[in-house]
Amino acid sequence: MNTNIDSLLNSLADQTKAHLEQLGEQSPLIVGIRTGGIWVAEHLHRALNLSNTIGVLDISFYRDDFSRLGLNPQVKPSQLPLDITDQNIILVDDILHTGRTIRAAMNELFDYGRPASVSLAVLIDRGGRELPISAQMVGDAVELPAHQHVKLTGPEPLALEIITTD
């Protein structure tokens, strides 16, 4: 797995530019998923030289494990323009694993309105999907065994680490 952050971010930015050209979209809404996804989204936003505001999603209220784990009291509010109808959204997260976070994020997005399209950009796709979710823009992809996890630490400096559990 490529752990060179700069190289990953550059690759992601290039892929996103190409994707936006295909879409014919010059001013997409970049939405980062708290917390790691926001750091990546901010870099992407700068790299794309966008003038609009970045959106922030906190998916705590949309998780599917609420019954088991309860509510995280550190929920910060999501920040999105009140109406996202007809916007082309680039949803950004740090690590793509089971796909459940993205499912929750999309449910929340659609409570805000009806976007024209939602594309997904992730820094690392580490495999292990449990839902039919895929990313259009991927920094690096690798299949990790179940007992290994990737974590993005930050915001300064951003760094990737692989954690092994028993």
- Footprint of another protein (CB under 8 A): 58, 60-62, 66-71, 73-78, 82-83, 107, 111-113
CB 165 within 8 A of CB 149: yes
Query: 56 vs 95, which CB is nearer to another protein?
Result: 56
Least distance in Å: CB of 85 to another protein? 10
CB 76 within 8 A of CB 58: yes
Query: 61 vs 98, which CB is nearer to another protein?
Result: 61
DSSP letters spanning 89-144: EEEEEEEESSSHHHHHHHHHHHHH---SEEEEEEEEE----SSS---SEEEEE---
Least distance in Å: CB of 55 to another protein? 13
Q: In angstroms, what is the C-alpha Rg of the chain?
A: 15
Query: 80 vs 122, which CB is nearer to another protein?
Result: 80
Query: 58 vs 125, which CB is nearer to another protein?
Result: 58
Least distance in Å: CB of 108 to another protein? 8
Distance CA 158, CA 6 (A): 9
Residue type, 109: L
Least distance in Å: CB of 106 to another protein? 12
